[in-house]
Amino acid sequence: MENAFFAAPERAFGFAFAGAPLDRASEIREDAAAIRGLRERGDARFVLIGRDMPILTRGELRAFLFPLKTLDDLGGPKSEALLGLQSDGAAVFAARLHDEAIEQRADLSDGFLDRRELVIPGQADLELVDLRSIAVQGVVAPMSVATLGQAKAILDWHARHGFCANCGAPTRLAAVGWRRECDNCKAHHFPRTDPVVIMLALDGERCLMGRQRRFPKGMYSALAGFLEPGETIEEAVRREIREESGIECGRVRYVASQPWPFPSSLMIGCLALAETRDLKIDAHELEDARWFDRDEVGAMFEKRHPDGLAAPNRMAIAHHLVRYWLDDRP
Ligand SMILES: [Zn+2]
């Protein structure tokens, strides 16, 4: 029988970007000869990113792992990282194309979804698709979404760290994509992950959800915010709930976490026990926040809420955090 204390709810969750299948093989990152050998093997594959969007083949079977020749044909990498090894030892790299290889035809982004229309001129069989849409629409297998997320996060970091934060000189890529080095001041820079707390405050049979103005119409979700320096996860959970809703919380419990590559966050999912009831909403952060009882949340999940209110999409940890509370009665 499973020990309830160590039960791993994240294994049962179906949220996106978790469960990357590759062996990260960090022990070979400094071995340039081994990396060169793996890269030139016929079975080496490349996740290709243009601007910050993954490249997929068009058609029914949406492939996203390309041979070296495709990368070379598209002008080679601007930056590259070893994502890891497949179970048969074949290497998978992430490569970001030069921006000039990509053409932007339109930008219909609405602040929530990335709706830039990007194309690779002369490559009618390839398509750039934003990662949120890939995750929401399920056009590749869930484990593949994790690999695409890993690729996007590490390459976004390189794209934004071309200069040393210590002295301002240009930095160069090292350790096959897992470090940047400054030759001027000798500083080493490592890929960042930014922790975000995302949580439900609970009041008996009710949970607290809010909505930001940029959310799709009718959608309510868990409150969230960045962890600040010098804060524990529990303190950040209590502070964010207090700032956004005026609710004071006591005990906090961690549930699960989700990599969120927009650009490089880690969502830390928690439940918190409310000690007050009266809401005082921060209008800068939230358009609205409310207590929801179990029946109402159930109706939101089943898309039969009388006011058309909706739960967050199942790609997001917020969806599973709410469902966990709904199903498991902590
Ligand atoms: Zn420097």
Distance 193 CA to ligand 1 centre (A): 21
pLDDT (0 to 100) of residue 12: 66
Distance 187 CA to ligand 1 centre (A): 5
Phi, psi of 118 (to 5 degrees): -110, 140
Q: Which residues contact 178 (CB under 8 A, 6 or more apart)?
A: 26, 29, 81, 82, 154, 190, 191
Q: Terminus-to-terminus CA distance in the chain, angstroms?
A: 19
Distance 183 CA to ligand 1 centre (A): 7
Distance 163 CA to ligand 1 centre (A): 8
pLDDT tens for the chain, 330 residues: list them.
455 566 666 666 778 999 889 999 999 999 999 999 999 999 999 999 999 999 999 988 889 999 999 999 999 999 999 999 999 999 999 999 999 999 988 888 877 778 888 999 999 999 999 999 999 888 888 889 999 999 999 999 999 999 999 999 999 999 999 999 999 999 999 999 999 999 999 999 999 999 999 999 999 999 999 999 999 999 999 999 999 999 999 999 999 999 999 999 999 999 999 999 999 999 999 999 999 999 999 999 999 999 999 999 999 999 999 999 998 754
Distance 189 CA to ligand 1 centre (A): 9
pLDDT (0 to 100) of residue 1: 43
Distance 32 CA to ligand 1 centre (A): 23
Q: How far apart are CA 75 and CA 164, in angstroms?
A: 27
pLDDT (0 to 100) of residue 5: 60
Distance 96 CA to ligand 1 centre (A): 24
Rounded alpha-carbon distances, angstroms, from residue 275 to 149, 204, 207, 222, 285: 37, 10, 13, 18, 22
Distance 158 CA to ligand 1 centre (A): 15
Rounded alpha-carbon distances, angstroms, from residue 53 to 110, 262, 263, 299: 17, 11, 11, 35
Distance 83 CA to ligand 1 centre (A): 26
C-beta atoms surrounding 74 within 10 Å = 22
Distance of CA 285 to the CA centre of its chain: 21
Distance 323 CA to ligand 1 centre (A): 47
pLDDT (0 to 100) of residue 105: 87
Q: Find out whether 50 and 71 touch, Cβ atoms under 8 Å.
A: no
Distance 84 CA to ligand 1 centre (A): 28
